[in-house]
Amino acid sequence: MRKLFFGPRSQKGAAVVEFALVAFLLFVVIVAMAEFSRAWMILGVANGAARVGARYAAILPDVENNLPSVTAKVKEALNASQIPDGDIHVDVDLGGGSPSLGDPITVNVIIDFHTSFGNLFPKLDELPLRASCSMRRETI
């Protein structure tokens, strides 16, 4: 008759396997935190650029004919943070026509955020970050 033994067994490789699993999960969490922090920083920069563009459009005379200069002002603010022009989309909303004194002017900025782990997860390669700012027209 065979004797069943349920005593202590050798655990030599268990610690290595546990460390490999925990280290991988810890690495993924740290990289995800870094990516989220980078996206949050770029979103803050985009909000600042939208505010700069809205302020510029609010005081610019003849704004409906100078929309490219508003877009250039926003891109100039974003290029200072080394965000490439190809990833920046700017939309200036004048409220459907020539704005008069006190009418809102809205500047929308969309930045295509490229993650570091886009090769592993193709759906997360390019995420749009949106910022917007509205100001009232100050000059006519």
pLDDT digits (tens, 9 = 90+) for 68-114: 999 999 999 999 888 888 889 999 998 877 788 889 999 999 999 98
The answer to whether 64 and 111 have CB atoms below 8 angstroms apart is no
Helix 14-59 to helix 67-79 angle (10° resolution) is 150
Instruction: Compute the distance between CA of residue 118 and CA of residue 110 in angstroms, rounded to an integer.
Output: 19
Whole-number Å distance between alpha carbons of 21 and 37: 25
As a whole number of angstroms, the longest Cα–Cα distance in the chain is 102
pLDDT, greater one: 20 or 7 = 20
- Predicted confidence at residue 130, as pLDDT, reads 96
Return d(Cα 37, Cα 87) in angstroms, integer: 19
Res. 3: pLDDT tops 80: no
The residue assigned the tokens 């939309």 is 91
Contact 110, 122 (CB under 8 A): no
Encode pLDDT of 112-134 as tens digits.
998 887 777 777 788 899 999 99
Tokens of 57: 């459009």
Tokens (6 digits) for 137: 């027209």
pLDDT tens-digit profile of 16-74? 889 999 999 999 899 889 999 999 999 999 999 999 999 999 998 888 888 999 999 99
Q: Which domains does the chain possess?
A: 16-136 (3.30.1300)
What pLDDT is stored for residue 13 in this prediction? 80
Token readout for 78 is 């974003």
Write down the pLDDT at residue 1. 59
